[in-house]
Amino acid sequence: MSTTPWQTAEIPGPKRGLPLHRCETLISLLNNSKNPLLIIGHKAAEIDLGNRKFIDYLIDLARGRTITVVATAHTIKELTNRGFQNASSMPLMDIANRLRDTEWRGIDGKGAYDVVLFAGFPYYMAWLVFSGLKHMSSQLKTISLDGQYQPNASWSIQNVSPLELEKFFVNLLEKIGEM
Amino acid sequence: MKKRNIELDIKEMKTGFGLMKDIKLSVGGISEKTADQQLGPTPFPSSTDLREWDMKLLERYKPFYMPFCDLCCLCTFGKCDLSDGKRGACGLNMEAQQSRIVLIACCIGAATHTAHGRHLVEDLIKKFGRKSALDVGGTNVEILAPIIQLVTGIKPRHLGDIEDILDYVEGEITQLLSSTHTGQEGSNIDFESKVLHAGTMDHVALEIADIAQISTFGFPKSDPEAALVDTGLGVVDSSKPVIMVVGHNVPPAIGIMDYMTEKDLSGQLEVCGLCCTAHDITRYDPKAKIVGPISWQLRFIRSGIPDVIVVDEQCIRADAFEEAKKIKAPVIASSSKNCLGLKDRTKDPTDEIVADLIQGKALGVLILDPDKVGEVAVRTSLGIAPKRKKFKNLPELDELILEAKRCTKCSECRRSCPNDMLIPEAIDAAAGGDLSLLNDLYDVCVGCGRCEEACPNDLDVHSFIVKAAEQKIKNEKFKTRSGRGAIQDVEIRKVGGPIVLGEIPGVIAHVGCANYPKGGEEVAEMIEEFAKRRYIILTSGCAAMSAGMHKNEDGKTVYESFPGDFDAGCVLNVGSCVSNSHIAGAAIKIASIFAKRNLNANYEEIADYILNRVGAVGISWGAMSQKAASIASGFWRLGIPVIVGPHGSKYRRMLLGRKDRDSDWEVYDARTGERDYVGPSPEHLFYAAETKEEAMVMMAKLCMRPNDTSRGRAMKLNHYIDLHKRYYGRMPDDIHLYVRRLSDVPITMKDEIVRILDQKEWKEKNIPDPTILPRMIRKKER
Ligand code: SF4
Ligand code: SF4
Ligand code: SF4
């Protein structure tokens, strides 16, 4: 495990996010959130975690905690194919641009998000989006779940192997199930 | 340089005359009759003359910044930490710093094209004289310099005329760059306006460079049937001496072809190019070959095939000389902008230079005379080829396997790879004798070599990939249609109406570099899809080559499958980076030729026309360079949106519309002066897509324009919905924003869409004569 940026050159500067070592930290961040959002990128449907895809764990997480889901790029189709109907579709640039706007009332118009989870993105693209939000929307807590440390997120799972990421999610979902 | 009194004359033009017919106008060295059109309000605009227009665009398409760094380190007052809203020691905040960086990038890009244009024009004037006529398509192209005419009001006729316009562009770029100094511009929005101005200057420079070279070198003149040129690593006949040319400034490569012709050596040598020099040398002589885009440099050099490497300017690997030494191929540098530390031998006797290169006394030389480069390159390649015996820098198979066993699986290579490729797994498989994973990586690899730089065990990872793909490389045999240059006026007359009414669903330009997230094949796929849908597809630069480097299921490239006209369902390569001017030029000419809008120095009105009526979108799937940034910004200012691939997010600033804010999408009805909601069309001005699928859906959407007729809108909606359903598996959620009347609804989807419209409480809207310029309103509000 490491908290150096996954892509070696992606060093941001003085303001770096905290490592998310344990799934309990994530649960507590979600417990303290009034209105969390999960944004799922296209790679979530490509990455294998054991004999499931990453996206399957993310769906379980969204269901377990009733988190609003936004799918970017063509990911919505993957969610629908898996029977998950409760998601909106929006390009990553659009959702990031909405999130930096403190006036924005959310997908459903019911209020701003306070904690935003990201998963399934090209590392460098998410790196920039986290940077945009870090600088332009500092009230927002951003969390990277990709298992590739994102220094610009408020919290990020560190650089872990697919096996370790799988364990993290199995553990997380177990804990959520017990709640 | 000669001093020219442009400024004085501009003032005279602005204040002195309304209608200028057959009046002799003197702008420094230019002596020219203006066209019989009125001179518009902004001849030779300064960076603030179009500021009001810029502000209108930036109000709708607000910048979203994604900083690359928390810091600013541009002066010794710093470094300054700009995170959390902090200001630097000079008072600058993060937004301004980011826009400043964008402006610096665009100034670099615009300066590069301008310097290229200057270099080219000076060479050409020396060769052909200042009075040499400009001609890019004979009587088929009356408006031969639409960008220059739009920006300056001048209609250049001779080479010497464009030299004067270069003075203006150079002056403006200097002004723009100076505003990035510490303690100058402090507002991010003003920086952004200057970014747009840098883009306009860039486009003028592009046009200068390309019309100059088309006119004098006999390139295809607006020819839809320009030659199909051999393309790919596999087309190079390595049994002959091979000269590799790379860069963007074609005269040295032309020197090579001319010398070969003069000495009757054609057919005895291979001349093949990478990047835009490849485009332009095949425009000069279609017997030359295209190896591939910028990302093919390392693999081609290491293959050992080139016997002599001639580099000119732009997008050349800085380590080209180091790599060339490893294959014992001499390098000839030919540009003052890229001297590579080599001795200037321009004035030395040719025999001596050739002997030194063949004998290895000199490993490279700098020669700043294109004709001399030609002779030295040809004679050296003939002399050195038998000695080199195609000495390569790639491992043999057994060496590769042995080397791969030294891998410690540290993942440093993967963590350096721009595409995060699974290199350690592929190396591990190779150590066991299975090269298939390495072979797969070849298709996605952008040839940057960062993996090798990162490897603590000095494994030549990129070379391993190239070796593993050896067979595939031999089969890289394709056809690219040579750059045809300008769009004919008669073509504009034919399609202008259908485009503006929306009946040709859109004009899509694939431009730019080769920094692709998943290989160049995606470019060909996107082009094929939209050409089949009868969009007009234009290509240029590295994207044009990548488009030609894939075959469809019939075994044909897009250039073999679709005609090269500017018409629905056609795919035309305009040429090199500087030929992008013809893409902007086509949009401008639609406004001028089809709609008969005044072209001369009338920037705002024409851009307003394009923004509201011409369904054109640029896509730069592998955008990488600063030049790509300045080219894009020239398109933004004209109201043409640009989509970039995911790596394009690293330009660190998007220009994004908000479709959820109705008031952003109001325009004036030029007939009545009333304000009308026209929907988010086009929704964004600069936008990075995560995947090819997302880009395709967005392309279709960004082609919609307020002026579309119902028939046109229905057709555009049909493509948008169809692609959305295919890739997203559902209806788009914003259909109601694009339906103005029920007649806009595609007939085959009527029931489904009407249901959605009912749910959204949709109401019928007016279809205005759209403009965002109050001065275009014909009947003023009382
Ligand atoms: S230019 Fe301004 S922000 Fe940048 S280092 Fe200098 S003082 Fe700091
Ligand atoms: S050369 Fe290819 S494999 Fe190596 S880092 Fe660059 S893109 Fe990745
Ligand atoms: S950097 Fe070198 S040693 Fe490390 S995994 Fe890559 S190839 Fe192996």
| pLDDT 10s digits, B27-79 | 444 434 444 568 999 999 999 999 999 999 999 999 999 999 999 999 999 99
- Ligand lying closest to the C-alpha of residue B456: 3
Q: Indicate whether B337 and B483 sit together in one domain.
A: no
Instruction: Confirm if B633 and B626 have CB atoms less than 8 A apart.
Output: no
Say whether pLDDT at B7 is over 70.
no
Residue B732, amino acid: P
| Strands (E) located in B266-374 | 270-274, 289-292, 308-311, 331-333, 364-366
Domain count within chain B: 5
Q: Residue B437: inside a domain, yes or no?
A: yes
Which of B157, B188, B217 is where one domain is finished? B217
Q: Residue B9: inside a domain, yes or no?
A: no
Q: How do A52-53 and A18-19 pair as beta strands?
A: unpaired
Cβ–Cβ contacts within 10 Å for residue B746, how many?
Answer: 19
The residue whose CA has the least distance to atom 6 of ligand 3 is B413
Q: Residue B466: inside a domain, yes or no?
A: no
Task: Measure B204 CA to ligand 1 centroid, in angstroms.
Answer: 32
Chain A / chain B CB contacts < 8 angstroms:
124
Task: Provide the domain limits for residue B37.
Answer: 30-217
Task: Measure B44 CA to ligand 2 centroid, in angstroms.
Answer: 45
Distances from the Cα of B601 to the Cαs of B131, B280, B390, in angstroms?
24, 30, 55
The predicted structure's pLDDT at residue A177: 85
The predicted structure's pLDDT at residue B10: 42
The residue whose CA has the least distance to atom 8 of ligand 2 is B417
* Partner-chain residue, chosen from B67, B646, B650, that has the shortest CB–CB distance to A135: B67
Task: Measure B71 CA to ligand 1 centroid, in angstroms.
Answer: 9
Helix H or strand E segment including B627: helix B626-637
Q: Indicate whether B35 and B77 sit together in one domain.
A: yes
* Partner-chain residue, chosen from A12, A72, A134, that has the shortest CB–CB distance to B690: A72
Its sign, for the CA torsion B305, B309, B310, B312, is positive
Q: What residues in B contact A136, CB-CB < 8 Å?
A: 64-65, 94-95
Q: Indicate whether B505 and B649 sit together in one domain.
A: yes
Q: Is the CB of B450 under 6 A from ligand 2?
A: yes
The single residue listed with the structure tokens 């960076």 is B47
Where residue B73 sits, what CATH number does that domain have? Answer: 1.10.8.190
The single residue listed with the structure tokens 């994604």 is B66
The residue whose CA has the least distance to atom 4 of ligand 1 is B72
The predicted structure's pLDDT at residue B38: 85
Better pLDDT: B239 or B37: B239
Say whether pLDDT at B623 is over 80.
yes
Ligand 2 pocket test target in B317, B443, B445 with most atoms within 8 Å of CB = B445
Q: Residue B7: inside a domain, yes or no?
A: no
Q: Residue B753: inside a domain, yes or no?
A: yes
* Domains, chain A: 18-178 (3.40.50.1220)
Confidence of residue B775 (pLDDT cuts 50, 70, 90): very high
> Any idea what the Cα angle at residue B251 is, between residues B279 and B315, rounded to 5°?
55
Q: Is the CB of B642 under 6 A from ligand 3?
A: no
- Dihedrals phi, psi of A95, to nearest 5 degrees: -65, -35
DSSP B207: H
Q: Does the distance separating the beta carbons of B652 and A77 come in below 8 Å?
A: no
Q: Is the CB of B462 under 6 A from ligand 2?
A: yes
Instruction: Confirm if B764 and B739 have CB atoms less than 8 A apart.
Output: no
Q: Is the CB of B419 under 6 A from ligand 2?
A: yes
Q: Does the distance separating the beta carbons of B420 and A136 come in below 8 Å?
A: no
Q: In a mutagenesis test of the A interface, which of B71, B73, B83, B652 is the best target, namely the one with the most A β-carbons within 10 Å? A: B83
Distances from the Cα of B28 to the Cαs of B20, B201, B650, in angstroms?
18, 19, 41
Q: Is the CB of B67 under 6 A from ligand 1?
A: no
Q: Residue B19's closest CA among B594, B598, B564, B539? A: B598
Q: Which atom of ligand 2 is nearest to the CA of B454?
A: 5
Residues comprising chain B, all counted: 782
The residue whose CA has the least distance to atom 3 of ligand 2 is B445
Say whether pLDDT at B22 is over 70.
no
Which of B708, B728, B746 is where one domain is finished? B708
Q: Measured between alpha carbons, how far is A172 from B384 in angstroms, rounded to an integer?
A: 66
Say whether pLDDT at B244 is over 50.
yes
Whole-angstrom distance between the N-terminal and C-terminal Cα of chain A?
28
Q: Indicate whether B360 and B427 sit together in one domain.
A: no
| pLDDT tens-place string over residues B364-408 | 999 999 999 999 999 999 999 999 999 999 999 999 999 999 999
Share of chain B above pLDDT 70, in %: 95
Ligand 3 pocket test target in B405, B414, B457 with most atoms within 8 Å of CB = B457
Q: Residue B564: inside a domain, yes or no?
A: yes
Q: Measured between alpha carbons, how far is B704 from B714 in angstroms, rounded to an integer?
A: 10
Its sign, for the CA torsion B210, B211, B212, B218, is positive
Q: In a mutagenesis test of the B interface, which of A124, A158, A163 is the best target, namely the one with the most B β-carbons within 10 Å? A: A124
Q: Does the distance separating the beta carbons of A81 and B690 come in below 8 Å?
A: no
**How far, rounded to the nearest angstrom, does the alpha carbon of residue B627 sit from its chain's CA centroid?**
7
Mean pLDDT, residues B223-250 taken together: 96
Structure tokens at B718: 């049909």
The predicted structure's pLDDT at residue B11: 38
The predicted structure's pLDDT at residue B97: 98
Q: Which atom of ligand 2 is nearest to the CA of B444?
A: 7
**How far, rounded to the nearest angstrom, does the alpha carbon of residue B24 sit from its chain's CA centroid?**
36
Q: In a mutagenesis test of the B interface, which of A1, A2, A4, A8 is the best target, namely the one with the most B β-carbons within 10 Å? A: A8
Q: Which atom of ligand 3 is nearest to the CA of B424?
A: 5
Q: Residue B5: inside a domain, yes or no?
A: no
Q: Indicate whether B178 and B130 sit together in one domain.
A: yes
DSSP B617: E
The predicted structure's pLDDT at residue B28: 42
Instruction: Confirm if B683 and B702 have CB atoms less than 8 A apart.
Output: yes
Q: How do B71-72 and B80-81 pair as beta strands?
A: antiparallel
Q: Indicate whether B78 and B176 sit together in one domain.
A: yes
Instruction: Confirm if B642 and B632 have CB atoms less than 8 A apart.
Output: yes
Q: Does the distance separating the beta carbons of A15 and B694 come in below 8 Å?
A: no
Confidence of residue B782 (pLDDT cuts 50, 70, 90): very low
Q: Residue B776: inside a domain, yes or no?
A: no
Instruction: Confirm if A117 and A37 have CB atoms less than 8 A apart.
Output: yes
Q: Indicate whether B447 and B562 sit together in one domain.
A: no
Q: Is A65 helix (H, G, I), strand (E, B) or coil?
A: helix
How would you list the strands of the sheet with B684-688, edge to edge?
B62-65, B653-656, B684-688, B642-644, B616-620, B507-510, B536-540, B571-575
| Strands (E) located in B582-708 | 616-620, 642-644, 653-656, 666-669, 675-677, 684-688
Q: Indicate whether B702 and B730 sit together in one domain.
A: no
Confidence of residue A2 (pLDDT cuts 50, 70, 90): low
Q: Indicate whether B503 and B356 sit together in one domain.
A: no
Q: Does the distance separating the beta carbons of B64 and A136 come in below 8 Å?
A: yes
- Dihedrals phi, psi of B651, to nearest 5 degrees: -70, -10
The predicted structure's pLDDT at residue B780: 58
Instruction: Confirm if B43 and B14 have CB atoms less than 8 A apart.
Output: yes
Q: Which atom of ligand 2 is nearest to the CA of B446?
A: 7
The predicted structure's pLDDT at residue B16: 36
Q: Measured between alpha carbons, how far is B573 from B553 in angstroms, rounded to an integer?
A: 22
Q: Indicate whether B249 and B289 sit together in one domain.
A: yes
> Any idea what the Cα angle at residue A28 is, between residues A27 and A31, rounded to 5°?
90
DSSP B596: -
Q: What residues in B contact A89, CB-CB < 8 Å?
A: 728, 730, 733
Q: In a mutagenesis test of the B interface, which of A4, A72, A89, A158 is the best target, namely the one with the most B β-carbons within 10 Å? A: A89
- Dihedrals phi, psi of B436, to nearest 5 degrees: -65, -35
* B515 Cβ contact partners less than 8 Å away, ≥ 6 residues apart: B295, B418, B446, B622, B623, B624, B645, B647
Q: Indicate whether B44 and B170 sit together in one domain.
A: yes
Q: Measured between alpha carbons, how far is B146 from B638 in angstroms, rounded to an integer?
A: 13
The predicted structure's pLDDT at residue B26: 45
The single residue listed with the structure tokens 């790379």 is B246
- Ligand lying closest to the C-alpha of residue B412: 3
Mean pLDDT, residues B263-280 taken together: 95
The residue whose CA has the least distance to atom 3 of ligand 3 is B407
Where residue B619 sits, what CATH number does that domain have? Answer: 3.40.50.2030
Structure tokens at A145: 């779940």
Cβ–Cβ contacts within 10 Å for residue A28, how many?
Answer: 11
The residue whose CA has the least distance to atom 5 of ligand 3 is B409
Q: Which atom of ligand 1 is nearest to the CA of B87?
A: 3
Mean pLDDT, residues B181-207 taken together: 98
Q: Is the CB of B75 under 6 A from ligand 1?
A: yes
- Please tell me the number of Cα atoms within 13 Å of B267 on its side-chain side: 2
CA distance B466 to chain A (A): 23
Q: Indicate whether B200 and B59 sit together in one domain.
A: yes
ipTM of predicted assembly, 2 dp: 0.97
* Partner-chain residue, chosen from A13, A77, A121, that has the shortest CB–CB distance to B728: A77
Q: Measured between alpha carbons, how far is B684 from B692 in angstroms, rounded to an integer?
A: 17
The predicted structure's pLDDT at residue A138: 86
